[in-house]
Structures are given as structure tokens and as C-alpha cells.
Chain A
Amino acid sequence: MKKYTYTEKKDTRSGFGAGLHEAGKKNENVVALCADLVGSLKMDAFIKDFPERFTQVGIAEANMIGIAAGMTIGGKIPFTGTFANFSTGRVYDQIRQSVAYSNKNVKICASHAGLTLGEDGATHQILEDIGLMKMLPGMVVINPCDYNQTKAATLAIAEYEGPVYLRFGRPVIPVFTDPDQKFEIGKAWMVNEGTDVTIIATGHMVWKAIEAGEKLAELGIDAEIINIHTIKPLDDEAILKSVKKTGCVVTCEEHNKFGGLGESVARLLTTELPTPQEFVATNDTFGESGTPDQLMSKYGLDAVNIVEAAQKVIGRKK
């Protein structure tokens, strides 16, 4: 097992804030909008340096999505910011018609995704957003795994032409990816090569997959770990190549197992290479109030759950 270490913990939303600021410096067409959550989205640096390119929309997310769609007409590249719940479910039809169907170059940037939003509870903890967004034709869906990857992803989507959903979160987590990485949309990152089981993880679950890989190594199991940061378009080639070698797969996501990364992987494998698969994901449930760690534990999204799923799926190999 390749050794991963970290010297600091940061929130992925701060990676977004840093990326947005840098994208703003690189390209004067980058503009930002926010629905009364500037601090939560870490947009302060962008606003300070580019006040005329920032629009405070107020608590009116539907209007924000429509305005963003309109701002592309004339060449702007709008980044909208609010919580994941209000970035997707609340404005699904506005995204569907004014952004996705109209093929507008809008970047929907969503913080506080998943259970790790914590104490605010289920009204704010969306576990359905990946599914909602990946269903939209032409929508790119990205869920980066740490501060550095989120920053790199933010810069990459500024250069990509077309609608994107970028999902990140609130908790501080280890920063373990390369600060100078080049983020390639749709290209998986090989975290660790192995032979016994493929662990595919996205977002906050990638660090947990690394922890699980270390525990599995102690048990004599050689896990291959792949980071799928881009859920759509999926890196079919990387997944098939790995699964051909290992013969089984565990998918890990801070999202409902219905509609998430795991289902995308299952769709690929069932048509190309039928393979035993286990899902580390929430099981058709809403969240609740609690600390992020308590919630990840209660809903089965810890390293120990990945270890158990890996052992189970290895047992299912023919």
C-alpha cells in the first residue's frame, strides 16, 4: 500500500474559494453569484478583488440560476454558489431548462454536500444531488476529494465549455493530493495499485478508502484504490482495466446508493464486465443532526465499512 500522509486538514469549500479567486485572476470573464452564503462558500477573496464581477442575489436560488444562464450570453463564465441542496433539488427545473437544455456555460458550485454538513440536519444534508445532476443530458458532475483537488477542479471547469456541477463540503479533512496537480475532467486518479479488490471512491470517501486500504493490507489484502472525481463523464477505461485485474469492486460515496457513483459503476460493469460489487453509501435514507464523524459512522460511511465491504465482495468472487 502506497503511503499517503498529510500535514494539514482543510475544507474542500476553501479549495473552491481559492480556485475561484485564481480563476478570476486568470480570466476576466469569470463571474460569481451567491445566494446569501458568501462566507460558507469562501467567496470572500474573489469578491474583494473583483467586486464588480460578483453578484449577490439574495435568498433566491431560482433567480440565481436563471441570471447565471443569462450572463453566459455575452461571454461570461458564471460560478453560482450555495449549499448543495439549494444548488440542485431546489432549482432542478431552472437548471434543466435554462442551463442544461440550453447548453449554457454555467458552473453550479455546491458546498455542504452530504452528511458532513452535520448539525443542521436532514433539511440541509442532500444525499441525492449526484443523481439529480448526472441525469441531466450534457451535465458534467465532479466531486473532488480534498482541498488541493477541489482547487484544481475549480480551475479546470473554468476552462471547460459547458454546464458543470461541482460538489464539495464543509468539514476539514486531510490534504493529501498534489498542490500542483493538473486536474483532468473525466480522468480517474490511480491512488494505489493492487490486485485483490478495486475500491472506487469519490469526495470525502477517498481518504477513508486510503485508511481502509491500509487496514486491508494488514489483513493481507492488496486493494487497488481509484479516485473517481468525475462521476460524469465516467472514466470507463480506468474502471474496466482495474476490475479485469481484481475481479470485484467496492464503490464509496457520501450519497444515496440510489443514483450515485455506485450505480454509474454498476451500469458500466453490468453491460461490459459483470462483476461482484458492494456499495458503501447511504441506504435510501435522509440524514439527521449530529457531528460529521458521528453521522459518517452511524450511516456506514467509515473506513471500517469499506474494509467489511471489500472482504464481502472478495468472498463473492467465483
Chain B
Amino acid sequence: MKHTIKELEDIASQIRRDIVRMVHGCQSGHPGGSLGCADFFTALYFEVLNYNTDFKMDGIGEDLFFLSNGHISPVWYSTLAHAGFFDKSELATFRKLDSRLQGHPTTHEGLPGIRVASGSLGQGMSVAIGAALTKRLNGDKSYVFTLHGDGELQEGQNWEAAMFAPFHELDTLICSVDYNGQQIDGPTKKVLSLDSLQAKFEAFGWHVINTDGNDMQSIVEGLHYAKTLTGKGKPILNLMSTQMGAGVDYMMGSHKWHGTAPNDEQLATALAQLPETLGDY
């Protein structure tokens, strides 16, 4: 471990503060899923992923990460800033004119750490597969990680990709699903049930593991365990239970905060629950 669990939890707390402040600052964006995945991003970037902050698009010899559900950009931007890809002061420009921190992640403005645009859902797994194929051709043994929303799995392209990866034995691919059971119009069970994602992915030939995405110990151990499963002919799916809005009591567990910004009073309430650990931007 590069950090103690407590240290990682402190980083996640700061990232959560950044998320609500960023979304409040432009009065738009997606706080719910961002907060729910703050622990995953912390574990990934501060414990698991092997990368250079001197960003190179080709990422030769580095682990790569692709965010497929691009609307949770605030959590990624804050994580990248604290990991050293760019100065955290830039977080104040989120969703504002002339910013590199677009509403949804993009390579277009040259923000370090991002390798493909996402936002229109369902495309990230295919891109990650392509990157993993190129690593295989290049003899590059590093890993390719992704994150997907659970509602996002309603997009058909995911299942084209889910069929492809095991068939081609892409066993350096570690995909995680933000399994919070919520989407814009309500619970996934009511909008279009995903039923058993574990059974679906296992039937497609994936090695599925389950983690608690809001328990730092569970997610760190889960991602390390996922790495030990690589090289065995199967891609790995981390089915990661989370709470939308995790860390802010009034946002938790409801789809209401999928894409709504807090007002001044709500911001103050949220920040009171999230200790400032690394210094606000």
C-alpha cells in the first residue's frame, strides 16, 4: 500500500468537497454519480494505477483509464488535479467558457489525463478494448481500466464490446461498473431493469468480482485482487456497489441528485459533512 486507508479516505473527502463546489460554482453538472465514485477514483489513482503525470497520449508502458460515463467528470477532474496532472486552481473553470474542463471529458482542449471524449454513453468499453489490443500488439503488459454507469449498460454497444473482450481473451482489461441502481428517470429497476449483471457478464465469459465502492478497504483490495486475476484469459468485471451522492446525506441514494446543482445553503450543508484535507482549490 502506498497510503493507509485513512489517508485515502482523506483524499476522497477532499475530492468530494471539490465535486460539490465545482457543480455549485457553475450551477450545473452531475454531483450524484461523482460523489458515489470518489472512493473508486481515489483508490485507482492513488493506489492502483501506474501512470506518469507528464501526460503522453500513447501511454506506452502505463496503465490506462477510460471513463465511459463521462457525466461524472467532476470526480475525474478533481482526482487528476490532486494526482498532479494539472493545478487544482483550474477546477474553478469547470463548465465555464474557454475551460479545458468541459462538461463532459474531452481531448479537444488538451486536458492532461484524458485520452478520448465520453458523454454520449456506451462507447468507453470499445475504446478500452482497442487500447488493450494495441498494448498486446506492442508487447506492453500494462493494464487498461474503465468505469461504466449501470444505467449506461442499457446502451447496446456495451454488449457488443462485452462479447468481444472474452472471445479475444483480453485479460489485461479491468472494467468497473458504478452499480448504484439509479439513473436520470429513476431507479434502474423501474426504468429498464439490468437484472443480474453478474450472471449476464459471466455468461459472456467475464470473471466477475464484487466490491463495495464506498468502502475504501473493499475497493482497494478489490482492485488489487482484480490485477491478480489478469493474464488468465478472461477480462475482469468489478461490480461495484455504490450509493449515488455518497458522503452528502441529503443526496444519498436518490436519482434526484443525478444532475442537479446544490444551492448556497445546500452547499454549506454538504461541505460541513466533508472535511477539507488537502486544501480547497
Q: How far is the CA of A231 from the CA of B125 in the complex (A)?
A: 32
- Shortest Cβ distance from residue B163 to the other chain A in the assembled complex, whole angstroms: 7
Q: How far is the CA of A128 from the CA of B168 in the complex (A)?
A: 34
Question: Is there an interface contact between B106 and A101, defined as CB atoms closer than 8 Å?
Answer: yes
A71 / chain B contacts, CB cutoff of 8 Å = 130-131, 133-134
B274 / chain A contacts, CB cutoff of 8 Å = none
The answer to whether A93 has its CB under 8 Å from any CB of chain B is yes
The answer to whether B84 has its CB under 8 Å from any CB of chain A is no
Contact of A69 among B130, B137, B161 (CB under 8 A): B130
Within A58-80, the residues touching B (CB, 8 Å) are 58, 60, 62-76, 78
Question: Is there an interface contact between B117 and A63, defined as CB atoms closer than 8 Å?
Answer: no
B164 / chain A contacts, CB cutoff of 8 Å = 57-58, 60, 63, 67
Closest to A70 in B: B130
- For chain B, give the interface size range: 35 or more
Question: Is there an interface contact between B115 and A98, defined as CB atoms closer than 8 Å?
Answer: no
- Shortest Cβ distance from residue B91 to the other chain A in the assembled complex, whole angstroms: 22
Question: Is there an interface contact between A98 and B60, defined as CB atoms closer than 8 Å?
Answer: no
A93 / chain B contacts, CB cutoff of 8 Å = 120, 123
Question: Is there an interface contact between A102 and B117, defined as CB atoms closer than 8 Å?
Answer: yes
Q: How far is the CA of A69 from the CA of B132 in the complex (A)?
A: 12
Which of A31, A64, A71, A78 is the most central at the interface, judged by chain B CB atoms within 10 Å of its CB? A71
The answer to whether B100 has its CB under 8 Å from any CB of chain A is no
The answer to whether A112 has its CB under 8 Å from any CB of chain B is no
Q: How far is the CA of A104 from the CA of B59 in the complex (A)?
A: 15
Question: Is there an interface contact between A74 and B116, defined as CB atoms closer than 8 Å?
Answer: no
- Shortest Cβ distance from residue B137 to the other chain A in the assembled complex, whole angstroms: 7
A311 / chain B contacts, CB cutoff of 8 Å = none
The answer to whether B138 has its CB under 8 Å from any CB of chain A is yes
A55 / chain B contacts, CB cutoff of 8 Å = 133, 168
The answer to whether B186 has its CB under 8 Å from any CB of chain A is no
The answer to whether A52 has its CB under 8 Å from any CB of chain B is yes
- Shortest Cβ distance from residue B71 to the other chain A in the assembled complex, whole angstroms: 13
A102 / chain B contacts, CB cutoff of 8 Å = 106-108, 115-117
Closest to B104 in A: A97
Question: Is there an interface contact between A74 and B129, defined as CB atoms closer than 8 Å?
Answer: no
Closest to A57 in B: B164
- Shortest Cβ distance from residue A63 to the other chain B in the assembled complex, whole angstroms: 4
B118 / chain A contacts, CB cutoff of 8 Å = 97
The answer to whether B230 has its CB under 8 Å from any CB of chain A is no
Question: Is there an interface contact between A75 and B119, defined as CB atoms closer than 8 Å?
Answer: no
Q: How far is the CA of A78 from the CA of B117 in the complex (A)?
A: 18
Question: Is there an interface contact between B134 and A98, defined as CB atoms closer than 8 Å?
Answer: no
- Shortest Cβ distance from residue B156 to the other chain A in the assembled complex, whole angstroms: 7
Q: How far is the CA of A64 from the CA of B125 in the complex (A)?
A: 11
Closest to A55 in B: B133
The answer to whether A10 has its CB under 8 Å from any CB of chain B is no
Question: Is there an interface contact between A76 and B137, defined as CB atoms closer than 8 Å?
Answer: yes
Question: Is there an interface contact between B130 and A73, defined as CB atoms closer than 8 Å?
Answer: yes
Question: Is there an interface contact between B106 and A70, defined as CB atoms closer than 8 Å?
Answer: no
B117 / chain A contacts, CB cutoff of 8 Å = 97-98, 101-102
Question: Is there an interface contact between B157 and A94, defined as CB atoms closer than 8 Å?
Answer: yes
Within B131-155, the residues touching A (CB, 8 Å) are 131-135, 137-138, 140
Q: How far is the CA of A63 from the CA of B170 in the complex (A)?
A: 15
Which of B119, B125, B156, B164 is the most central at the interface, judged by chain A CB atoms within 10 Å of its CB? B164
Within A88-108, the residues touching B (CB, 8 Å) are 93-94, 96-98, 101-104
The answer to whether B57 has its CB under 8 Å from any CB of chain A is yes
Question: Is there an interface contact between B133 and A73, defined as CB atoms closer than 8 Å?
Answer: no
Which of B59, B107, B124, B131 is the most central at the interface, judged by chain A CB atoms within 10 Å of its CB? B131
* Interface 1/0 per residue, A167-203 and B, CB below 8 Å: 0000000000000000000000000000000000000
- Shortest Cβ distance from residue B281 to the other chain A in the assembled complex, whole angstroms: 27
Closest to A69 in B: B127
Question: Is there an interface contact between B130 and A66, defined as CB atoms closer than 8 Å?
Answer: yes
Q: State the B residues within 8 Å of A (CB).
A: 57-60, 64, 66, 106-108, 115-120, 122-135, 137-138, 140, 156-157, 160-161, 163-164, 168
Give 18 new A-B contacts, CB below 8 A, not counting A72-B134, A97-B123. Answer: A31-B137, A53-B137, A55-B133, A58-B164, A62-B156, A66-B130, A66-B157, A69-B130, A70-B130, A70-B131, A71-B131, A73-B58, A74-B137, A75-B58, A96-B120, A97-B120, A98-B127, A101-B117
The 6 closest A-B pairs by CB, nearest first: A70-B130, A66-B126, A74-B134, A63-B160, A60-B160, A67-B130
User: Could you give 25 example pairs across A and B, Cβ below 8 Å?
Assistant: A31-B137, A58-B164, A63-B161, A66-B130, A67-B127, A67-B130, A67-B133, A67-B161, A68-B130, A69-B116, A69-B126, A69-B130, A70-B128, A70-B131, A73-B58, A73-B59, A73-B131, A74-B58, A74-B60, A76-B137, A78-B130, A93-B123, A97-B118, A97-B120, A98-B123
Q: State the A residues within 8 Å of B (CB).
A: 31, 52-53, 55, 57-58, 60, 62-76, 78, 93-94, 96-98, 101-104
